[in-house]
Amino acid sequence: MKLAISVIFLWMTSLSSLHSQVSENWKTFFDFDSLNANNLQTVVSNQGSIRSRWISLPLGTSNQIIYDQGPWFIGKINGEPILSIVQWFSCWNYSPGPIIQNQAAMLINPEDSLRYRVYKISKGDDQTNPDYAEWPTDFGAPIYENGNPLIKGDQTLWTLFNSLDSTAIQTNWNEPLKTSPIEIHETIFSRNGNENDFIDIFSNVVFMEYEFINKSTYQIDSAFIGFWSDIDFRALENRPAVDTLRQLGYCWSEEDTTFEGTHPPAIGYSMLYGPIVQDPNSNAVFKGKVVNGFKNLKLNSFRGIADDSHIDSLTGKVRSMMDAQNLARGLTSNGYPIINPTNNLATKFPFSGDPLTGEGWIYNTWTSGGAGFVFFSGPFNMAPNDTQWVMIALIPAYGNTGLNSIEILREKTDLIRSLSYDSLAYGSISYSITDIDENFNIIPENFSLSQNYPNPFNPSTSIQYAISSTQCVTLKVYDVLGNEVATLVNEYKPAGMYNVQFTMNNLASGIYFYRLQAGSFVQTMKMVLIK
């Protein structure tokens, strides 16, 4: 099975500059394009499947790191389970395009199939790029206030697909996979750069945003958003693990070299912003904006997958609707609690031990070609036409040994998670992992708030603060009238030094104030925006 899929993906990669390849049978319309602004070449399809390779590192002839990846959605309507899934091309139910009048676009408007493609835009594009000129705002593609296509990072891919097309369903399960009224909008972006992590970590990171829209007339209950990946930097040594502190699922190798003679990387995904639920005492980030009275959910469960052929209840792939429901709730495939063998306690996060210290539950045997994982965030409910949104970062790390790659992965993840959404999506400042050595490993003696730099600035500036103990930290920006214009930080932070990037694209020139509160410590500083 996997050989045939490899041929498909090689075809995708070699033809990634082409667009709108339409089958004679419109129901199998398939399109793709390649994100290639930095070292990660990421091929994105309009049917939910993604593949990534690391261009500049000596990992082998293909430099492949991600064989396949994609979003999942699990829930119930009137007590009946629904599932939107992509899994090794042998199980998926995504169809290109939106849901129109309660029907899949490919079923109701197949004549518009060319519009259900992957759109690629880069900074500096104009109407000469057909994807820019034909940007599908009527489908919900993001735009600036002036109506132009919204570019995140330096290069953005956008597409949408749905789970309501029965002709698109493929499965190797013993039971049929039902349609689901979920429409998904996918935004994949990266910054320019071909440097290593010691110069600019954004040369080796890809960001993924997903909007999930309930297009039915029914409420969806007990819903979970998941992300699945087959990580493939080495066929027999992709060990799954999860780091709940960093909201990070990853695969690693304890070996110092791979069979090609190069060092094995560590490849991970961090859930930067999970779905939101109401919480009157919190603020959340939703579609890049801060919303009051909500919180972003954390990871709820994790399953490490040893191979696509495994059938055990702990590390086997998902094989049924009930299996998926149990997995999302943090249970084994057959619905039993997962017991951590190192402490005999129930857990939803197997293999959450620390490979660097050897402490905790660690996956300690060989894997095979289908190794990877799937993690979930939830539960939540969705009324008709409700939207949920998540943001995930694909973060590969390449060190001197397999374990050193994990160290670098953690450092990169810490830095990325410390930055604001605007810094990630619209910022231009470069960061290296040495920034983390300077800022994150120091325990300050006192609380402090530094003057932003540069100041005056346009449009981005950096704000550094230090806290000497774990505190609930808020960092907010106000105009001269005392109106709050941005919340940059609102969460518990451990002791350390932090940098926050702030971009003020939509604010007028003038004087602004930023205020740090950490426990009883409060300090306010002035900054000047000049456009």
Cα-based distances in Å from 309 to 2, 306, 347, 460, 515 = 11, 8, 24, 49, 54
DSSP of 374-391: EEEEEEEEE-TT-EEEEE
Q: Rounded distance, CA 182 to CA 164, Å? A: 7
Task: Encode pLDDT of 60-84 as tens digits.
Answer: 556 888 888 999 999 999 999 999 9
Q: Rounded distance, CA 49 to CA 260, Å? A: 27
**One domain, residues 335 and 476:** no
* Reduced DSSP (H G I as helix, E B as strand, rest coil) percent helix, strand, coil of the chain, to 5: 15, 40, 45
Q: Rounded distance, CA 158 to CA 211, Å? A: 11
Q: How many CB atoms lie within 10 A of CB 530?
A: 10
For residue 475, tell me if it sits in a domain. yes
- Amino acid letter at 222? S
Domain span at residue 231?
A: 2-416
**One domain, residues 373 and 463:** no
For residue 377, tell me if it sits in a domain. yes
**One domain, residues 223 and 296:** yes
Note the helical H segments in 21-140. Answer: 105-108, 130-133
Per-residue pLDDT of the chain (531 residues), as tens digits, is 333 334 344 434 433 333 333 333 434 578 999 999 999 999 999 999 888 888 766 555 568 888 889 999 999 999 999 999 988 766 778 999 999 999 999 999 999 999 999 999 999 999 999 999 999 999 999 999 899 999 999 999 999 999 999 888 888 777 888 899 999 999 999 999 988 888 899 999 999 999 999 999 999 999 999 999 998 887 678 899 999 999 999 999 887 665 455 678 899 999 999 999 999 989 999 999 999 999 999 999 999 998 877 677 888 888 888 999 999 999 998 999 999 999 999 999 999 999 999 999 999 888 887 889 999 999 999 999 999 999 999 999 988 888 889 999 999 999 999 888 998 999 888 888 765 444 444 467 788 898 887 888 888 888 888 888 878 899 999 999 999 999 999 887 777 778 788 888 788 899 999 999 998 999 999 999 987
Q: Rounded distance, CA 231 to CA 374, Å? A: 11
Number of structural domains found in the chain = 2
Q: Determine the distance from the C-alpha atom of residue 401 to the mean position of all C-alpha atoms in its chain, rounded to a whole number.
A: 26
**One domain, residues 409 and 479:** no
Q: Is the peptide bond before 337 cis (omega within 30 degrees of 0)?
A: no
**One domain, residues 211 and 312:** yes
The angle at the Cα of 300, spanning 311 to 498, to the nearest 5 degrees, equals 130
For residue 100, tell me if it sits in a domain. yes
Q: Determine the distance from the C-alpha atom of residue 125 to the mean position of all C-alpha atoms in its chain, rounded to a whole number.
A: 25
* SS3 labels along 266-289: EEEEEEEECCEEEEEEEEEEECCE
Q: Rounded distance, CA 344 to CA 270, Å? A: 27
**One domain, residues 361 and 480:** no
**One domain, residues 398 and 476:** no
Q: Is the peptide bond before 454 cis (omega within 30 degrees of 0)?
A: yes
**One domain, residues 383 and 472:** no
Q: Is the peptide bond before 81 cis (omega within 30 degrees of 0)?
A: no
**One domain, residues 107 and 207:** yes
Task: Encode pLDDT of 421-472 as tens digits.
Answer: 998 999 888 888 765 444 444 467 788 898 887 888 888 888 888 888 878 8
Q: Rounded distance, CA 189 to CA 216, Å? A: 29
For residue 436, tell me if it sits in a domain. no
Q: Rounded distance, CA 199 to CA 500, Å? A: 19
The angle at the Cα of 317, spanning 314 to 323, to the nearest 5 degrees, equals 75
For residue 421, tell me if it sits in a domain. no
Q: Rounded distance, CA 23 to CA 424, Å? A: 37
For residue 34, tell me if it sits in a domain. yes
**One domain, residues 30 and 133:** yes
**One domain, residues 359 and 488:** no
* Distance from the first to the final alpha carbon of the chain: 57
Q: Where are the beta strands (DSSP E) in 206-312?
A: 206-214, 220-231, 239-243, 248-252, 266-273, 276-286, 289-296, 299-305
Phi and psi at 12, nearest 5°, equal -60, -45
